[in-house]
Structure 1
Amino acid sequence: MKRIAVVILNWNTRDYLREFLPPLLRSIKGHDAEVIVADNASTDGSVEMLEREFPEVFTIALNKNYGFTGGYNRAFSRIMECKDAPEYLVLLNTDVLVGEHWLEPLYDFMDSHEDCAVCGPKILALEKSGASWKRSRQFEYAGAAGGYLDRFGFPFCRGRVMSSTEEDIGQYDPDPCRVFWISGACMMTRSSVWTKLGGLDESFFAHMEEIDYCWRAALDGHSVFAVPQSSVWHIGGGTLSRESALKLKLNYRNSLLMLEKNLEASIGRKKGESLLKRRISIDNLTKLIFILTGRKDSA
């Protein structure tokens, strides 16, 4: 096994794999790294395409769709059973185009900062341009330049204000910055920390699970960093669009679940319960707004 395992979790995104695997494979040449695709029982011929067109990529074919959390947990468990298990694990979405030199800054930083459990690159938007994709200078909604939680426990990130994203003009360069969370679209973690924490919490299924993971890593005494020397480009919404009612429900549900799990250990029981009550009131008001504006499916 290589020192770094770059693992892509796929569910019915065959065309993204075909598009973005070649630059990824080129980018890891000369590095002690390998690419693995874990497939969540796709029905679009993804596994067959991989076997035919990318025989150098090891494929883990799962027997059903375990979601983001369950899929990665099963894939990483299998990888960690290998005799020479990797030191670093990378979660990478199928709809991500990596930069030519995206990998080295991440593992260089981890090598030189033993307290760091998780790090990630700047995530910029990848835009459709005719029949091809264009690398934008706009930060991407899902992770931008690393994120935090606000006073009510809502996640936000550097490079995005509400739904508006900033242009990357170097405002978050050049130094790595300690953050609260890194997007699961492209996230490197130590395999030792992954094993100790038990991987991702499968009660989340998908969405917010990486924030919960980063939070648990911090509670265990580790740090989380955004490394701006590394950049990737992300389409976003490759599996569920930002406007998806299911995605909204998962985000609200999982955000509360994450707070219930981790607040007491972070700020104490009384403060945690008080914050959670305020947050539930805000969420109930949001549900009412959805209903009154004709979006009952999102409530």
Structure 2
Amino acid sequence: MRKVSVVIVNYNVKDLILISLRTLFQYHPNTDLEVIVVDNDSKDGSPEAIAHEFPQVKLIANKFNAGFPAGNNQGFKIATGDYIFMLNPDTEFLENSIDPMVDYLEGHSEAWLVAPKLLNTDGTLQQSYWRYPTLTSVFCESFYMRFLLKKKNYKDKDPNEVFYGETFSGAALFFRKELIDRIGMLDETMFWIEDVEFCWRANHNNYLCYYFPKTKIYHHIGQSAKKNYNISLSNQNYNKIKFFRKHHSKFATFLIVCITLIHVIAKTIVFGLLSPFKEVYYLKFKAYLYTYPRIFNPPNGIT
């Protein structure tokens, strides 16, 4: 069995990452694992808890929040495995998931990256595969018309069968380490859309990505995002602008800016009106105010 480097970036989700690590080691006792955790200056005791319970884990404790792509790149740089498993700290294993993915890549030379089936906490299927962002998809997502995006969300595919896909959730991406040598690491300026952009570069260079539902993993989604709405909501909104700026025309980018601006203004008004009734609405109102000026000049990386 080839060595696998599991890279996890953690930020203030101590209880969840401990579950993730426990189930990782529980279900893979005979797999040659190198586990690397990059902690982004958590204040909840995560580094200490991980070091105490899992001394075999290589722990990088940052003194600042480097963000998800930069944190992963730190792990990639020291990884020594033949394969890399980029994994969120809010994942939980139900079975040996790594060995089947290794076997698939070993038997399919055209495949360079696979993404396992992700399940919500209640056991339902989690949407974790998409076609590339387009003007139409960004518009529909911004204005509550997701029901029109059946093609984007691969509703024409059987989620129980392996299929080629354009982009997958960065919560769990398993790929040949050599892929990094071929296309580079995660783009650290693409915080919150780095997984989409990474898959774009892989597929466009003919290093194909596949959905691999022959194994499944829980993904208790969005726990880190709740810690800082300024970061999560702002990046969710202007990340597509950065993606279009890198991979599309100036005119397409201009249209995305316009769509995003209208969306953020609308959200600011709605949450501003709701803010007296619930703290979470007030926090989101402040986050959209924070986002507004950054639409025109999205920062590189996390701010």
**What TM-score results when the alignment is normalised by the length of structure 2?**
0.78
Give the one of 196, 212, 215 matched to 1:211: 196
| Distance apart, 1:207 and its partner CA | 0.8
Q: How many residues align?
A: 264
* Alignment match, 2:132: 149
Cα–Cα, structure 1 residues 57 and 250, in superposed 2: closer, same or farther, change >3 Å? same
Alignment partners' CA distance in 2, 1:243 and 1:65: 12
Give the distance between the partners of 1:192 and 1:50, measured in 2 at CA: 29
What amino acid maps onto 1:15 in structure 2?
D
Counterpart residue number, 1:200: 186
CA positional deviation for 1:261: 0.9
Q: Residue 173 of structure 1: CA displacement? A: 4.4
SS of the aligned residue for 2:123 comes to strand
CA RMSD in angstroms, aligned pairs only:
2.8
1:42 aligns with 2:28: no
The 2-side partners of 1:153 and 1:32 are apart by: 44
Shift of 1:44: 2.3
Aligned match of 1:277 in 234, 246, 254? 254
The letter of the residue matching 1:187 is: L
2:113 pairs with 1:114: no
- Post-superposition Cα deviations, 1:109-137, rounded to whole Å, max 9, x if no partner, equal 221222323211111111xxxxxxxxx23
Contact 1:20-1:97 within 8 A present in 2 as well:
yes
Give me the whole-angstrom Cα distance separating, in 1, the residues matched to 2:160 and 2:57: 33
The amino acid that maps onto 2:111 is C
Equivalences for 1:77-226 in 2 at 5 Å? Answer: 77-79=77-79, 85-126=80-121, 136-140=122-126, 144-152=127-135, 154=137, 162=146, 172-204=158-190, 206-226=191-211
- Quick check: 1:122–1:227 contact (8 Å CA) kept in 2? yes
Contact 1:119–1:227, Cα closer than 8 Å, also in 2: yes
Alignment of 1:23 onto 2:27: no
| 1:33 maps to 2:33 | yes
The 1:254/1:173 distance shift into structure 2, 3 A limit, reads closer
Match of 2:214 in 1: 229
Q: Which has the higher helix share?
A: 2
Conserved 8 A contact 1:145-1:228 = no
Amino acid in the other structure paired with 1:292: I
Structure 1 position 53, deviation (Å): 1.5
Are 1:238 and 2:223 counterparts? yes
Shift of 1:154: 4.1
Using the TM superposition, give the Cα deviation of residue 222 of structure 1 relative to its aligned residue in structure 2, in angstroms.
1.4
SS where residue 203 of structure 1 aligns?
coil
State the secondary structure of the residue aligned to 1:241.
helix
Aligned CA distance change for structure 1 residues 154 and 88 (closer, same or farther; 3 Å): farther
Provide the secondary structure at the position in 2 that maps to 1:137: coil
Identical positions, percent: 25
Amino acid at match of 1:285: I
Q: Is the 8 Å Cα contact of residues 121 and 229 (structure 1) preserved in structure 2?
A: yes
Once structures 1 and 2 are overlaid, which stretch shifts more, 273-282 or 46-55? 273-282
Distance 1:282 1:95 in 2: 31
Task: Report the CA distance between 1:63 and its aligned residue.
Answer: 3.6
Structure 1 residue 147, shift from structure 2 partner = 1.6
How far apart, in 2, do the equivalents of 1:70 and 1:153 lie?
30
1:280, distance to aligned residue in structure 2 (A): 2.5
Partner SS, residue 256 of structure 2: helix
Q: Which has the higher strand share?
A: 1
Which secondary structure state, in structure 2, belongs to the residue aligned with residue 71 of structure 1?
Answer: helix
CA distance in 2, matches of 1:297, 1:173: 35
- How far apart, in 1, do the equivalents of 2:286 and 2:136 lie? 24
Report the Cα offset of residue 90 of structure 1.
0.7
Separation in structure 2 between the aligned mates of residue 77 and residue 154 of structure 1, nearest angstrom: 34
The answer (yes or no) to whether the contact 2:233–2:287 under 8 Å persists in 1 is no
TM-score, length basis structure 1: 0.79
Judging changes above 3 Å, is the alpha-carbon distance between structure 1 residues 190 and 246 closer, same or farther for their aligned structure 2 residues? Answer: same
Cα drift, residue 287 of structure 1: 2.2
Conserved in 2, the CA contact under 8 Å of 1:153 and 1:279? no
Instruction: Tell me the equivalent position of 1:59.
Output: 59
Structure 2 counterpart of 1:252: 237
Listed one character per residue, the Cα deviations across residues 160-185 of structure 1 (whole Å, up to 9, x for unaligned) are x949xxxxxxx734421111111111
* Cα displacement (A) at 1:186: 0.8
Report the more deviating stretch, 96-105 or 144-153. 144-153
